[in-house]
Structure 1
Amino acid sequence: MSTKNLHLFDTFEKDGKKFARIPKHTINAGTSPKYSDLVVKDKSDFKAIVEKLELYGLCVVKHYLEPETCEHIKKELEPHYFRHQEWNGSPFPKETTVVTRAALASPTCMDKIALDDTFYKVSYHFMSESNVFWIGDGKLRRSETDVQLYSSIIYRVGAGAGDQMYHREDMALHNAHPRREKYHYGDDVQVGLAVALTPMNKTNGATRAIIGSHLWGPLDGPYEFDPQRELYLELEEGDGTFMLGSTYHAASSNHSDADRIGAFFFMSKTYLRQEENYHADMEPAFFENMSFKALKILGLHTSLPFCGHIGYRSPAFVLNPKLKEASQAGKGNYTEVIYPVFE
C-alpha cells in the first residue's frame, strides 16, 4: 500500500557537503502579465479580486485604507518597533525594525485590517472547508472550518537595507504544493493582505513577487524563472495587496533616505497553528470585552467541531460567557446533522 511521500527528494553527500537531486523543469512559460493586470480599483469588487488571485497569486487593490487611517496606525505603532541583534541579517537586515502582533499593539490595525470584511471574505473563500463525519448513531455531521489571524507584522525597512530572500509565506506550515496548470482550491492554507503605510516603490524597498509562482510545485524554486514575471508592488499610502501564501515574494533593497513601512497580515485555517501566539503572555482581562468576531479572528474560538476547546467549551465563551447566548456559534459543535439515504 502506498502512502504520502514525506520526503520530496533524494540526497547524497560529497566532500563533506549534502546535495539534493532536483529535476530541472521549465516554469512560467507563456505571456508575462503587466502590473496593471494585477490592479483592482474597488475593494468591494470581490469577483475581480478572486479572479486575479487565481490567475496571478496576487491582487493590488487601490485605496484600501484612507491615508489618514494609515497615519493613525503609524502613531499607535511607534512605541512598539524593535529588532534583535542576533538576527544578523536573518530573517531581516539590520536596518529593518518590526512590530509583531500588531493587531494587539494597534487598535486601528485590529479594526481596519484584521477585522476587515473584505479580508475575511477573500480568506474564507480560498481556505474554508466543509467536511462530513460519521457518528455512531447512524447520522452524519457536517462542520465548516473558518479562518484565523496567522500573523500581523509591521515591517519598517530602513535606508540601506538589502534585499530579502524570496520565500513562500506558508513554508512554516510545511505546505508542499503540487505543480498546477491552473489554480486548484484546497492547495492554499494562507491568504495575506499587505497595506502600504508609506509609499512603497522600487527605490525604497517595495515588495517584489514572482507572478504565477503560486502554481509552482514544491521543488520549482525561485532559482530560475522568466525575469519578466518579477514585479515590484509599487503602492501609494493606503493601497493594499492580497497575496496567496503560495506566492514567492520578498522585500527589496531600500536605496532611499527614508523608511518604508508596510503592514503584512496573513490569515490561515482555524485548525492550523498560528505563527504568532496572541494569548500566552496576555492577561485574560485583555480579551474579556472583545467582540466575538475579534476573539474568533485571534484564534480564541474552537475550529468546528471542537479543535482548541477548553473543557469542550469555546475559549471565547470562557473569557466572556455572555457571548455564547448572543452567538449562533455557541449552539453546537456541528454545522448540521445529515441523515443518510443508501441507494
Structure 2
Amino acid sequence: MAPALLCIDSYHLETPVSSSPKPKQASKVPRISKLDFTTYQNEHDLINDIIESLKLSGGCIIRNMYQKSTLDAMEREIRPYIEATRKAEKDFVPSSTKMVTGLLSKSRTYALSVAGNSIWHRVSEHFLTSTLSKSWHGTQSRTSKSLPQLSTTVAFSVGSGTVAQGLHRDDDIYHTQHPASPTHHLGRDTMLCLFVAGKKCTKRNGATRIVPGSHLWDYKVSNADAEKFSHAEMEPGDAFMMLGGAYHGAGANTTANEERLVYAAFATRGYLRQEENQYLANDLDKIKELPISLQRFAGFGASKPYMGWVEMDEPVKLMNGDAAGETEFW
C-alpha cells in the first residue's frame, strides 16, 4: 500500500492532459496522465480517460477531485484515531508512519467519498469484474458476473524522519503472477488502488516513488531494474489511481515537521479474500447506516455465483431486511 500520488519529472508529466484527447500510447516511454476533474462535463469521459491511462502506464492522477470541505470533514472524523494510534512497528511500514484502518465505520465522510467514490467504482468494474460464461446446469447455460469488492481501508499519517519504503507490488498478496506483456489486457489485474491527498505531498515529505509501465513487467522481474522513478507530488484534493501490479514505494520524509496525510482504498475481485477483514474491522451498526450498494461493495453482498452467503442469503439482506431487495445468486 502506498501513501502518496504520482508526478514523475523524468517521464515528462508536467504537461497536463486535456479532457478531449485520449492518452496516447508512447512508443518507448509510458506517460501517466494528469487529468483535471473540473474540466470534464461528465463522468463517462473522465472514466474512459482514466482507464486508458491505467492500461498504458499503470497509474493516473486526477487533479481537484475532492473539495476542501470534504477533506476537512474527513480529517475531523479521523484525526482523533490518528492521535490515538502508535507509530508502526512493522518492517514493511516505516516506523514514523501512523495507520488508521477500519475506516468504513470510523468516518462516514471517508466511507461515502473515498470507499464509495463512483468514479473509482466504475474504473474498478472495468479492470476487476470477472465473467463466468457457459456454466452448464443440466440443459441450461448460465452466465454470471462477479463485481469488485473493497479490500482495504487505511489513512496514512507519515511523520518527519520516516525512511523510504522498498519498491513493491501491492497485488503480490493475491499471488498474482502476470507475465510480461507489451500491452495491457483484461484479466491481468487483481487490485486497483485509490489514494486521496489530505495534505500536500512533496519530494521532501516522502511522496511515493513509482515506475510507470512496471504493471506490464513479468511478475518475477526484480525491482532492482526499476531505474527510472521519481517522487509523487500532489496538492490536497488530488486523487491517484494505480493498478496493483505497478512497482512503487513511499519516499523518505526529510522535513522537520511536515505531515503527509493520505486516505486510501483498495479494491479486488469479488471472489478473492479481502486484505482487511471488513466484518470484524468495523462496527456493524455503522455499516447498516451506509447505502446498501456500499454495504455490498464492502463485502456484505454476494459474489455471484453463490459466494459469501449466510443461511443461503446475502449478509446485506440479513442486516437490512426487505430494504436490501431480492437476492440473485446468478
TM-score band, normalised by shorter chain: 0.7 to 0.9
Q: Which runs of 5+ in 1 are unaligned?
A: 1-28, 335-343
- Please give the residue correspondences for 1:15-54 in structure 2 after superposition, counting only pairs within 5 Å: 31-33=28-30, 37-42=32-37, 44=43, 45-54=46-55
Give 1:281 deviation, angstroms: 5.6
> Relative to 1, partners in 2 of residues 1:80 and 1:215: Cα closer, same or farther, differing over 3 Å?
same
> Relative to 1, partners in 2 of residues 1:95 and 1:84: Cα closer, same or farther, differing over 3 Å?
closer
Identity of aligned residues (%): 27
> Relative to 1, partners in 2 of residues 1:288 and 1:110: Cα closer, same or farther, differing over 3 Å?
closer
**Residue 82 of structure 2 is aligned to residue 83 of structure 1:** no
Q: Which amino acid aligns with 1:32?
A: V
CA distance in 2 between counterparts of 1:151 and 1:66 reads 23
CA distance in 2 between counterparts of 1:136 and 1:32 reads 48
Which position in structure 1 is the counterpart of 2:244? 245
Which position in structure 2 is the counterpart of 1:236? 235
Which position in structure 1 is the counterpart of 2:197? 196
> Relative to 1, partners in 2 of residues 1:200 and 1:283: Cα closer, same or farther, differing over 3 Å?
closer
Give 1:243 deviation, angstroms: 0.2
Q: How many residues align?
A: 296
8 Å contact 1:300–1:316 — kept in the other structure? yes
Output the TM-score relative to the length of structure 1: 0.82
> Relative to 1, partners in 2 of residues 1:40 and 1:104: Cα closer, same or farther, differing over 3 Å?
same
Which position in structure 1 is the counterpart of 2:328? 332
CA distance in 2 between counterparts of 1:282 and 1:46 reads 30
Give 1:146 deviation, angstroms: 0.6
SS at match of 1:99: strand
CA distance in 1 between counterparts of 2:157 and 2:258 reads 10
8 Å contact 1:135–1:141 — kept in the other structure? yes
Which position in structure 1 is the counterpart of 2:274? 274
> Relative to 1, partners in 2 of residues 1:33 and 1:304: Cα closer, same or farther, differing over 3 Å?
closer
Q: Which amino acid aligns with 2:295?
A: L
> Relative to 1, partners in 2 of residues 1:193 and 1:295: Cα closer, same or farther, differing over 3 Å?
same
8 Å contact 1:289–1:320 — kept in the other structure? no
**Residue 317 of structure 2 is aligned to residue 321 of structure 1:** no
Output the TM-score relative to the length of structure 2: 0.85
- Please give the residue correspondences for 1:54-133 in structure 2 after superposition, counting only pairs within 5 Å: 54-81=55-82, 82-83=85-86, 86-87=89-90, 90-133=91-134
Q: Which amino acid aligns with 2:100?
A: V
Q: Which amino acid aligns with 2:301?
A: H
8 Å contact 1:316–1:323 — kept in the other structure? no
The one-character-per-residue Cα deviations of 1:249-268 (angstroms, maximum 9, x if unpaired) are: 11100111211011121111
Q: Which amino acid aligns with 1:305?
A: P
CA distance in 1 between counterparts of 2:282 and 2:246 reads 33
SS at match of 2:125: helix
